[in-house]
Structure 1
Amino acid sequence: MAVFERKKEDRIVTDDTKPLIAFITDTRNTDGHVEYLLEVWRVPDVETKWNVSHRYSDFAQLHATLRVGTVALPALPPKKVFGNTDRDFINERRVALQKYMDGILANSLLAASLPVRQFLDPKNYSRNFQEEGRQNVHMVLRAGGSHEVTEALPQCGTRVTKIYFLAHPLADPKTQHVLWWAPFGPDRAMNLRDTHATLTALVQCQHPYIVPSVSSVATEAGVCVVRPWFPQGSLRDMIHQVRPKGSALVKYSGDKLITVAEKKCAVFGRQILEALLFLHEKGLGHGHVHTGNMVLENNVCQLLDLENQVVGMPNQLRARVVQHRRINSIEALDVYSFGHALYEMLFQRRLETDTCEDFPPECSPMARSVLESILSAEACKNGLPAVAGLLTHPFFSEVPLHSYEKPTLKLPSSVKQAIALSHQSLLTRLAADQKKVRQQRKLSKAEAFVQQRSTKGRPKKHLHLETNGLASGGDSLTNSADQQEARCKR
């Protein structure tokens, strides 16, 4: 227990879902080498900034690390052997490197990758998460686990701190399971006793469209979960026609996609909604609905990893949710996430914006009606439909279900109370960030208005310098705020 208590101090409090913003503010010459000084922060935490410095060779190394599979990278300015300390050249390269970083951070898959996080936030991401996960899993299994790890699955998921392994029961070596480890995240609110009780209850969950875990253990450092292994992978793996063992950056950057018939999307959507309705009726919810947390087996779509909310992991769409104050309940969070998942099923690509008004021409009026009720700017402004309401929509209600298994999930009153308090804590932190975003929008509009008035009387030469990113420090920070707001709206 003493080891676990020490580990508690290392729990992850950084919110990985908050987008990183990087702005090259200056350059300096160190021992004959040019270093580019970057100011970095997370949206919407503009009050908490830090600085990192990198040479051009560091950018080149990052570029080489990210060049895997079919990942589409922005153009990196070319290397120059002679004259690379010339002031004009440095300014030109600084603008080009800023454009490069903007392109990296505009791609959600690249921005979430470990190399990019290590490049911009070495303080929080210099740790070897894979090794820490292996050590924690080893301690759990040594303390009385019923499984043996057979293979590590590095970076197969989109979360940096969630570490996956293949394992088999000691009593049945031929059966394969997935074992994952995750440290407690920023939304954790339960004490260890309530965490144990909640995990124990979730193992007993029975529902035709939910995959329960085989076993789960909580320590002072995090949670270890064992669940069935699906060789075909998640629904997202199926859409991208990839094997589940590969790196997420490689798996999901390709364009070899499989079309999912709209009728099947309606079936899968109905099944997921039935699972969500059951969970919300129990006061639990899911909190992490996306195609990576769904699997298909015998044409049945099922939800995975109910334990994510116990660990305190933030929703992967949180950066978009903070744009909309009316998404202020666990059910609204699940419905909004379901809308994004349905969009990905229908069009084989993720929606990269927080709202959507224009859908591909192949979208039928019925499917469009569902998506608009969740993803349109009007829906996000006025309030999203309830899960029960979506099930009455003809797109889903006309889909026949052939499962008659009676779902069960027994939650003791103490667990229900702990879950309710956990949801309240999550929503309080969400509301605080939503308020920050609203305040920053007002500030950006005010700054844009002032800048517009002040530029009317400026010389054309100064305006030309501004458009090329070479204005004074004050103007650069204003441009940074505008870039931040633009990224927030993505």
Structure 2
Amino acid sequence: MAVFERKKEDRIVTDDTKPLIAFITDTRNTDGHVEYLLEVWRVPDVETKWNVSHRYSDFAQLHATLRVGTVALPALPPKKVFGNTDRDFINERRVALQKYMDGILANSLLAASLPVRQFLDPKNYSRNFQEEGRQNVHMVLRAGGSHEVTEALPQCGTRVTKVYFLAHPLADPKTQHVLWWAPFGPDKAMNLRDTHATLTALVQCQHPYIVPSVSSVATEVGVCVVRPWFPQGSLRDMIHQVRPKGSALVKYSGDKLIAVAEKKCAVFGRQILEALLFLHEKGLGHGHVHTGNMVLENNVCQLLDLENQVVGMPNQLRARVVQHRRINSIEALDVYSFGHAMYEMLFQRRLETDTCEDFPPECSPMARSVLESILSAEACKNGLPAVAGLLTHPFFSEVPLHSYEKPTLKLPSSVKQAIALSHQSLLTRLAADQKKVRQQRKLSKAEAFVQQRSIKGRPKKPTSRRRGANGNAENLNNKTTTTGTPNSPLPPPPPPPTTPLTPVPPPPPPPPPPSTGPASSPEAAAVDEKERTALLNAITAFKKGLLKNVETNDRSTPAV
């Protein structure tokens, strides 16, 4: 081992796309303050759970941090100064805080934000990712970079570990570029040499609907990429009518949306499909198709950030992909993501479910046909269409393309092999999580079935006929229990029925009021208890099946 070998930093292997689940399991009093204990895990990793504790003030601070822009937050229970350690109040507040956390995690934009992740998973998200990114970027630039950072763009994207900066070339200060840094993710499978070779090849990509990077550098802990800057922002920024420099939580929580004409959606969709078809023919894929990775320039829609697949970032829709075992290839992953992007373009909002059966009424039959072929439950169950098949759909095939530039991308055989191994690693991890989801579904169905059977197997309430036969004895038992005291001797109970056909005698008259005289002797109490036990045993031993059948002569019909 070399003396001056730099120690590798532990890279984040946490999958940021896995939804967090949190349950308040208990409370405790620490130094006069009530702490709420939360059990947290990621879906579908239910076997890996951890605990965090927070006071009410921590919930209030989280609420204040998230209250930016027009973000719609669930109601936080009010603060209480006096009596906040009362047990009943703590239980009520615990229920209210659980409802608050459920509302936060049900919102995909809030659940993916850094404050929420720091609140629920401080072990993995307590670091300052913006500062770490700045340090790594400056190390790359000092080692021979051709750019200079001019401005930081904190949290302008939806990835908590991916940080952005504005930069300009040293030779041309007037030209603006965007520089981003991201640590390696859980889907990284290439070694450093193959990563360098793949990034070098992607820089040479030439396609009318793909934006290549200006330069890219890989280190032992992450990747630094420089690409052109688009002042108008991404397609998602244009839909929300916001500038690209703002925080993602502020930008995408507003309700000022601009509609995209359906004809333009068809044009943009056709252009993205052409780019995907080219990548798939080269043995590549995009893996991160969404409106945040699309830009518009002169009415041309282009894809950004091909380098995400090299970094090993999981797809942002991965939590929904794991619900469907037939999405098991890079092409199927891109097609499914493309369907969500088309939904967002057509209706100016994201699809919050993994499938969709009911589309808004303004959706035309042609556009509905495209969305149903990708996003319906039947399509996800039976298999998604190929990119080439979607290009033959009338919604896209009738759109003219005005660019005839010949695309080029040369990939050495070593790079192709490294990309294939990387895809295989990604799909293997995806298949493992899909299997977990299926097993959890089966377990939930089995538990529901057992619970239903247990409810059906419970003894039914006695019928009216049986209740009429045994009601007198039950009434006697109840009266004996409520009125029988050592100070009030009870009259002897009637003897049990000796013949099944003999009806149960009527109940005896109510016992006299308690006597104020001397207490009864222990011998009398013992006799009463013995007779009561005999009566109960006789009632318990009664069997309805021993009753004889009786022929009834029905004379209710009037004689003619």
**Interval containing the TM-score (normalised by the shorter chain):** over 0.9
CA distance in 2, matches of 1:489, 1:199: 105
8 Å CA contact 1:43–1:484 kept in 2: the answer is no
In structure 2, relative to structure 1, the CA distance for the partners of 1:311 and 1:276 (3 Å cut) is same
User: Which residue number in structure 1 is paired with residue 482 of structure 2?
Assistant: none
Change (3 A) 1:5 1:271: farther
Change (3 A) 1:4 1:163: farther
Q: CA deviation at 1:347?
A: 0.1
* 1:189 matches 2:205: no
Superposed CA offset, 1:167-226 (max 9, x none): 000000000000000000000000000000000000000000000000000000100000
Greater alpha carbon shift after TM alignment, 156-165 vs 87-96: 87-96
* Residue 8 (structure 1) shift: 3.7
Q: Is the 8 A contact 1:323 1:489 kept in 2?
A: no
1:311 to 1:304, Cα distance in 2 relative to 1, 3 A: same
Q: CA–CA distance in 1 between the matches of 2:550 and 2:159? A: 27
Distance 2:558 2:414 in 1: 38
Q: Compared with structure 1, are the counterparts of its residues 61 and 109 closer, same or farther at alpha carbon in structure 2 (3 Å cutoff)?
A: same
**Which of 445-454 and 299-308 deviates more?**
445-454
Give the direction of change, closer, same or farther, for the CA distance of 1:5–1:184 in structure 2 (3 Å limit). farther
Question: Distance between the aligned counterparts of 2:223 and 2:554, measured in 1?
Answer: 34
CA contact (8 A) 1:204 1:409 kept: yes
Q: Kindly state the Cα deviation for residue 12 of structure 1 after the two structures are TM-superposed.
A: 1.3
Task: Provide the rounded CA distance (Å) in 2 between the counterparts of 1:175 and 1:479.
Answer: 103
Question: Residue in 2 aligned with 1:480?
Answer: 550
1:451 Cα deviation from its structure 2 partner: 3.1
Tell me, in whole angstroms, the C-alpha distance in 2 between the residues paired with 1:188 and 1:324.
Answer: 23
Shift of 1:445: 1.4
Pairwise CA distance, 1:452: 3.6
Instruction: Tell whether the 8 Å contact from 1:202 to 1:212 is kept in structure 2 after alignment.
Output: yes
Q: How many residues align structurally?
A: 478
Deviation digits for residues 330-356 of structure 1 (CA, Å, limit 9, x no counterpart): 000000000000000000000000000
RMSD (Å) for aligned C-alpha atoms:
10.8
CA contact (8 A) 1:370 1:395 kept: yes
Q: 1:3 to 1:393 in 2, by over 3 A?
A: farther
Q: How does 1:80-479 map to 2 (within 5 A)?
A: 80-454=80-454
Q: Which has the higher contact order (CA 8 A, sep 6+)?
A: 1
Q: Distance in 2 between matches of 1:489 and 1:232?
A: 98
Q: Aligned in 2, Cα 1:172/1:393: closer, same or farther, shift over 3 Å?
A: same
| Distance in 2 (alpha carbons) for counterparts of 1:150 and 1:25 | 47
Q: For structure 1, which runs of at least 5 residues remain unmatched after alignment?
A: 462-467, 471-476
1:486 to 1:76, Cα distance in 2 relative to 1, 3 A? farther
CA distance in 2, matches of 1:140, 1:486: 104
Structure 1 runs (4+) greater than 4 angstroms displaced = 1-7, 453-461, 477-490
CA drift at 1:484:
62
Alpha-carbon contact 1:241-1:258 (below 8 Å) kept: yes
Greater alpha carbon shift after TM alignment, 147-156 vs 89-98: 89-98
8 Å contact from structure 1 (residues 239, 260) kept in 2: yes
Larger Rg: 2
Q: Judge conservation of contact 1:260–1:345 (CA < 8 Å) in 2.
A: yes
User: Structure 2: how far apart are the matches of 1:324 and 1:275?
Assistant: 25
In the TM superposition, residue 416 of structure 1 has moved relative to its aligned partner by 0.2
Cα distance in 1 between the residues matched to 2:413 and 2:30: 62
Identity of counterpart residues, as a percentage? 96
Deviation at 1:450, TM superposition (A): 2.7
* CA deviation string 1:400-433 (max 9, x = no partner): 0000100000000000000000000000000000
Shift in Å, 1:11: 1.1
The 3 A distance-change label for structure 1 pair 232 and 37 is: same
- SS of equivalent residue, structure 1 residue 296: strand
SS at match of 2:115: helix
Taking a change above 3 Å as real, the CA distance of residues 169 and 117 of structure 1, as seen in their structure-2 partners, is: same
User: Aligned in 2, Cα 1:483/1:331: closer, same or farther, shift over 3 Å?
Assistant: farther
Deviation string for 1:245-280 (max 9, x for gaps)?
000000000000000000000000000000000000
Residues 265 and 425 of structure 1: is their aligned pair in 2 closer, same or farther, counting only changes over 3 Å?
A: same
CA distance in 1 between counterparts of 2:228 and 2:4 reads 27
Q: 1:434-459: CA deviations, max 9, x gaps? A: 00000001111122223344457899
Q: Following TM superposition, by how much is the alpha carbon of 1:479 offset from its aligned partner in structure 2, in angstroms? A: 50
Q: Counterparts of 1:59 and 1:254 in 2: how far apart (Å)?
A: 23
Per-residue deviation, 1:233:
0.2
Shift of 1:37: 0.4
1:98/1:225 CA distance change after superposition, 3 Å: same
**What is the rounded CA distance, in whole Å, between the counterparts of 1:489 and 1:106 in structure 2?**
74
Native 8 Å contact 1:320 1:489 kept in 2: no
Do 1:287 and 1:334's aligned partners in 2 also have CA atoms closer than 8 Å?
Answer: yes
Partners of 1:12 and 1:183 within 8 A in 2: yes
CA contact (8 A) 1:4 1:221 kept: no
Deviations 1:132-176, CA, capped at 9 Å, x for gaps = 000000000000000000000000000000000000000000000
Deviation, 1:478, is: 49
Question: 2: CA distance between counterparts of 1:91 and 1:210?
Answer: 55
Q: Distance in 2 between matches of 1:302 and 1:408?
A: 15
- Structure 1 residue 82: Cα displacement: 1.0
**Other structure's SS at 1:127 match:** coil
TM normalised by structure 1 equals: 0.92
Work out whether residues 95 and 469 of structure 1, in 8 Å CA contact, stay in contact via their aligned partners in 2: no
Corresponding residue SS for 1:302: strand
State TM-score, norm by structure 2. 0.81
Judge conservation of contact 1:5–1:221 (CA < 8 Å) in 2: no
| Secondary structure in 1 matching 2:200 | helix
Contact 1:197 1:415 in 2 (8 A): yes
Change (3 A) 1:49 1:18: same
Cα separation, 2, equivalents of 1:403 and 1:284: 22
